[in-house]
Every structure is written in C-alpha cells, then in structure tokens.
Structure 1
Amino acid sequence: MASTLTRDAPALAFTHRFEPATDGAASPLLLLHGTGGDETDLLPLGRMIAPGAALLSPRGQVSEGGMPRFFRRLAEGVFDEADVVRRAHDLADFIAAARTAYGLAAPVAVGFSNGANIAALVMLLRPETLAGAVLLRPMVPLADPPAGDLPSTPVLMLSGAMDPIVPAENAARLATLLSARGGKVEHKTLPASHGLTSADLTAARDFIARIGR
C-alpha cells in the first residue's frame, strides 16, 4: 500500500503519513499517537480496525524531552490549557487542508492517550472537523471545556480499569461532557492498564464497522 511522508507548509504544516483508500466506501481515519509516538505508530492499528480506509496520521508538533506530543503539559495530567486550545485549532486547520489536498471526507479520529485528548477537544472546539472518534485512554482536556454542539457524533471511549494515569472519575466526566454536548457516546472500561490490548482492537474495529460507511 502506498504511503507518503509529507512536510508541506503552511497548509499541511504537520509532518504526517497518508495512505490512500483501497475501499472507497470506508470512512477515512485520522490517527493521533500518544506521547513519544510519531506519524507511523498507529498505522498498523488503523489497518487492522479499518481495512481499506484512507489513513491520515500527523506527528504532534510539541517536543517533551525529545518525545512528540500534540500539546504541552506542566506535569502528568496537568495541561498547559492555552497551548491545548491553540494546538487543537492548529490540528483542525491541518485536517481541513488535508481533506482538500487528498480529497477526503470528514475523518473518524482514532486517538491514544495524548492523541485522544486533543481529538476530544477538536470535537468540542470545531465539531464539524470529525465524523466520529475512537478515544483510547482519554482524559478531560480542559478544566473548563468550551460550550459546543456535537449533533449525534458517534464516540467510543475505551478506558482501562487499572490505568495509573487516567482516574476513572476523569474518564467518566469526559463521557458525560461529550454526551451533554449531543455526542452519541459509548464508554467501556476494559480490564487493562494504560496500554492497549486485543480487547481495544476488537471494540474499535466493531465500532468503526458500525459507523464507518
């Protein structure tokens, strides 16, 4: 399958990988890595959960000790909120430019950890950007999230029962927040830690199959 590494600026300002669709009926996926990942990390996951879908995978533009992220944090679980908002808008702008460049429909985001957090905020700030989301180990991205309307946007949240990073209360609060904004949220807590398991892959694949056409 063809894959391109692109660093075009300013419109496609994120270094990213793009794999074109081989199944024209499949919704494109936006793959958003966790801390320390890059634009290649979630490509295998994308191929497994949505065979034939176009894959768009940007690299986070923030470096934390040499590890890419999508926004700055001040400590574990403590985010630089002004930076979070700015970076979410930057990502939404990139997605819009990539849709034009590659001829894509609105993608379904698949984000892990830091990538899941920024995907959640993109949905809240710029709800027209994404057709849905799979949020793997997400947290509430802002202490005072913006008002927004997610008209029936499908969202799958997958939390880990033994996750040492994301408190159960925080994940539940995010599910409630997205639901209150109109999202069609499914929140599942799996017998897992912060890392992904085969149960995550199965749940994500089933969800994408239901909403992705």
Structure 2
Amino acid sequence: MAELSFIHRFEAGEDQSLAPLLLLHGTGGDERDLLPLGRLVAPGAALLSPRGKVLEGGMPRFFRRLSEGVFDEADVARRAGELADFVAEAREAYGIGAPLALGFSNGANIAAAMLLLHPEALAGAVLLRPMVPLASPPDGDLSGKPILMISGAADPLIASENPARLARTFRERDADLTHETVDAGHGLCERDLLLMKSWMARS
C-alpha cells in the first residue's frame, strides 16, 4: 500500500473497463467498511477506500459537524479539497482513472461536496442517504456527470426536503442525475443494492 495523505485500502481491479470506486464510509466507519459493498455492486473494479480524518467521540468522519444535521461548512470545503488531493495522489500512485465515488451518509455528503467544489476529481457518484453539504454552493458545471442518489422514505435523520434540494442543485448544474427513494430508514436495504447494480450496469 502506498504511503498517501489518508490512511486507506486499495484493491487493484481485474476489469480495466470499469471505473475505480472511491468508497467513503459513514460516521464511525473506516477504510474496511465499504469494501464488501464495492465488490458486490462493481465486481472487478479497483477499490480505493480512505478513512476519514475527523474524529467525533472517537468515531472517524470526513468533516466536522456542529450538531446532528448541522455541518461546519468551512470544514466541509477544506476536507473536500483534501480528499480531492488524495484522489489525485492515489491516481498517480496506483495508475487508475478518475473514480466513481460510492458514499454512505457522511461519506455521501463529502462526495456531494466534492462534486460541487472539485467536480474534476470524480467520474460520478453513488450517494446513499445524502444531505445538502453546503447551503450556498458555488456555480459549477456537472454536464453529463452520472449521479445516483438513494434516499430512505422513513429516514429519521433526514427530512425529505433536504435530498430533494440537493437533487435540484445537481440538476441545475446539468448532472445526469437519478434520484430514487426506497422504503427504508437510514440503513441500507436490498432495494439499495438492486438499484446500484442496475444503475452501474447502465452507466
């Protein structure tokens, strides 16, 4: 494993036609958490999985929050830049192309921030249970960038208006957005897997 700016895991891909996946865990996860999910939804793809650098009560995250659902937006922007720099380092170290982010919860939120602030760093994204990461993101161009958002209809942590606003933000920037809502809470369900596999097969 190369010595890069984030603690991470990397698994080389067997199918070079597939975009590598940038796996971004939720609060309390680590660089191992989403590897099985990545293997499941994109067999043969290279997997790049960093550990968030921010600790909240000893639990890794990708950026600070002020309270539940209230983000430190200055930290969001700084950490999105750090992660974009890490992606550039990893691409050089491992000889991979621009990755498709696959993020859950806090990981989905930092991926959304990267799309809005550093769109060149990602080939696209799968955002599981995302929220709006920045109240007033800068204008940008996401023309044709494939994005899948999956929200939970019964998610106790996210009001339905929030991901709807994020979806509007992506559409205003001309992203190729698919936004699905599943009959679930904040945790993942079988329907999430089916939607991810189907979307990846088409993208």
Query: Partner of 1:188: helix, strand, or coil?
Result: strand
Q: Does 1:51 align with 2:43?
A: yes
Partner residue of 1:175 out of 162, 167, 174: 167
The aligned amino acid for 2:170 is L
Structure 2 match to 1:74:
66
Question: 2:140 matched to 1:140?
Answer: no
Residue 184 of structure 2 corresponds to which residue in structure 1? 192
CA distance in 2, matches of 1:193, 1:187: 16
Matching of residue 101 in structure 1 with residue 93 in structure 2: yes
Aligned equivalents of 1:41 and 1:22: distance in 2? 21
Q: 2:107 aligns with which of 105, 109, 115?
A: 115
Q: Which residue does the alignment assign to 2:152?
A: 160
The list of structure 1 runs, each at least 4 consecutive aligned residues, that deviate by more than 6 angstroms after superposition, is none
Q: Secondary structure at the match of 1:71?
A: coil
Are 2:142 and 1:150 equivalent residues in the alignment?
yes
Q: Does 1:18 align with 2:42?
A: no
Name stretches of at least 5 consecutive residues in structure 1 with no aligned partner. Answer: none
Count of residue pairs the alignment pairs up: 203
1:116-131 alignment, distance < 5 Å? 116-131=108-123
CA distance in structure 2 between the partners assigned to 1:101 and 1:58 by the alignment = 14
- Whole-angstrom distance in 1 between the partners of 2:20 and 2:197: 13
Compute the TM-score of the two structures, normalised by the length of structure 1.
Answer: 0.94
After superposition, the CA RMSD in angstroms is 0.8
Deviation at 1:98, TM superposition (A): 0.4
Counterpart CA distance in 1 for 2:109 and 2:139 is 16
- Cα distance in 2 for residues equivalent to 1:107 and 1:199: 24
TM-score (norm 2): 0.98
Give the 5 Å matches for 1:1-12: 4=1, 8=3, 12=4
The separation in 2 between residues aligned to 1:209 and 1:14, in whole angstroms, is 30
1:202 offset after TM fit, Å?
Answer: 1.0
C-alpha separation between the residues in 1 aligned to 2:105 and 2:59?
14
Which SS does the other structure have where 1:128 is aligned? Answer: helix
